[in-house]
Amino acid sequence: MARSTRTRILDGALDLLRAEGGGSVTLDAAARQAGLTKPGLMYHFPTKEALKLGIVDHVAARWEEMLLDRLGGPLEGTSPHQRTRAYVEVALTAPFDRADYAVCTDALYRDAFHQMWERRFEPWLLLPDDLPARDRARLTAARLLADGYWTAAATDVFPVLERDRAELVAITDDLLRDESP
C-alpha cells in the first residue's frame, strides 16, 4: 500500500531531523524532501507550526502503535503493571534515533507539543492514586530506567552496550512483577 502524501511529508521531515548535524525542518526543506512544491506541502500543513505539530503527532502515534502492539490488545481494562510493562519493553527494544529525541524534547518548549505527548501517554503512564506505594515506586523506577535507556540509545550519547541491555531487561522484569493479590 502506498504511503499517503501526508505520511510522506512527515517521514521526510523526520529524515531531515536525522540528517548529520541535525537538519532544518522548514516548509521549503520539507517540501523538497517529500518531492513536493511548497504550495503542495502547504495544502496539508499551512504553517511551519502545523507541520511541527504534525511531526509530534506522527511520532507519538508511532509510539502508541508500538505500545498497543506490545500490549497485545486494547488499552481499556489493563492494569498499571501491564501498561508500564508495554512502555518499558518498547523503550528497551524499539529502534529510536535523534529524530525521536528531538521531537520529544521540543515538547519542553512548546505547550501544544507537550499537550500532544501528554494526551497520548497519560493513559499509559499515569498511575492510580490507590496503587500501593511499593508498586508505584517499582513501576516508576522501571519507567525511569526505560526512559534513560531510550534517551541514551536515541541520542547515541553514552549508549548502553548491547551486552548490558539484556541485564536491564531482567532488572525491569523484576521491578514489573505484579505483587498485588
Question: Do 20 and 77 share a domain, yes or no?
Answer: no
The structure's pTM equals 0.87
Q: What is the pLDDT of residues 9-62, one digit of tens each?
A: 999 999 998 886 566 689 999 999 999 999 999 999 999 999 999 999 999 999
Full residue range of the structural domain in which residue 1 is found: 1-46
- Total domains, the chain: 2
- 10 Å CB burial of residue 169 (0-12, 13-18, 19+) is middle
Q: Supply the CATH number for residue 21's domain.
A: 1.10.10
Q: Is residue 181 part of a domain?
A: no
Q: Is the dihedral of CA 135, 143, 167, 74 positive or negative?
A: positive
